[in-house]
Amino acid sequence: MSEHSTIEWTEATWNPVRGCQKISPGCKHCYAETFAERFRGVRGHPYEHGFDPRLVPDKLLEPLSWASPKTVFVNSMSDLFQDVVPDGYIMAVAEVMLRTPWHTYQVLTKRSTRMEAMLRTRLRSAAAASHIWWGVSVEDRKYGLPRIDDLRKSPAQIRFLSIEPLLEDLGDLDFRGIDWVIVGGESGAGARPMKKEWVKAIRRSCRNAHARFFFKQWGGIQKRRYGRTLDGRTYDEMPAQSTIQIPPRQERLKLIWRSEPPTADWSEAPLVQLKPQPVVA
């Protein structure tokens, strides 16, 4: 969607899928839904269909067009592993990531069981690539902690957690096998509060397991007011990004030309028409 992102832990976003369906309490104030629904019915706008999940095959080759290496949040406006996205399309997204190893990709999902199953099978090559980081969202004990176990079981080379919005104390956690942990509070209207002790417990668990710790924000209704320092400092740790040199433009163009455009196999038809969704408590 954008060559530049204001999200603290990435540089760019890439959305070969748009729209999603709510699945757990962390989705209650989904920023992507709020943004997308503002444009429902606006003809010609990328979010003309609001937050209804849809494939965007025209976006598949976008990372090849970028002139510099980037750290890329994959599907910031959806969830790649939601049920309605076909396996073949997920594999097409993975194929683009594998062909562009000068970028570093961050794939984040709440559908951890499907991701784990695919990383073991059809996505095995992508799981083994160090420039593709695979992560799960965690917001509470009930829904979030089982996702950590799924991620740990997967053969991903780099595993990460986005613990945002952190909704309750998660206690002392076992982060063995986890490379990177992002923590943040909810922001915007109706933001649910996050306590300092909860964040400090996660920082402690990171130290115990040698996982990198990234503190994104305190959040709140006006997030700028509360900033992103913890005990007087910022925490911006993250795994090493790709150091592979980007090929010259001509070579990248050839790569596009040579690759059987995965765009041809897919259309942009809506995958599902969303009805007003109940808020998950």
Where does this chain bind ligand SF4 (CB under 6 A)?
20, 22-23, 26-27, 30, 32-33, 78-79, 110
Amino acid making up residue 276 = P
For residues 188 and 209, is the Cβ–Cβ distance under 8 A? no
CB of 53 to ligand SF4, least distance (A): 9
Which CB atom, from 76 or from 205, has the smaller least distance to ligand SF4?
A: 76
- Residue 30 or 209 with smaller CB distance to ligand SF4: 30
Q: How far apart are CA 70 and CA 52, in angstroms?
A: 28
Please say which residue, 20 or 199, places its beta carbon nearer to ligand SF4.
Answer: 20
Long-range contacts of 192-195 (CB under 8 A, 24+ apart): 192/28, 192/165, 192/167, 193/220, 194/165, 194/166, 194/167, 194/218, 194/219, 195/169
What is the nearest approach in angstroms of ligand SF4 to the Cβ of residue 165?
A: 9
Answer for the pair 52, 274: CB distance below 8 angstroms, yes or no.
yes
In the bound state with ligand SF4, the residue whose beta carbon lies nearer, of 78 and 106, is 78
What contacts 130, CB < 8 A, 6 or more positions away? 157, 158, 242
CB 197 to ligand SF4: min, Å: 25
> To the nearest whole angstrom, how small is the minimum distance from the Cβ of residue 277 to ligand SF4?
8
φ, ψ of residue 229 to 5 degrees: the values are -100, 150
Minimum distance between the CB of residue 186 and ligand SF4, rounded to whole angstroms?
Answer: 11
User: Is the Cβ of residue 27 or residue 206 nearer to ligand SF4 in the bound state?
Assistant: 27
Residue closer to ligand SF4, measured from CB, 81 or 235: 81
Structural tokens at position 155: 């053969």
Strand partners, 161: 136, 181
Q: How far is the CB of 19 from ligand SF4 (least distance, A)?
A: 8
Residue closest to 116 by CA, chosen among 145, 139, 138, 148: 148
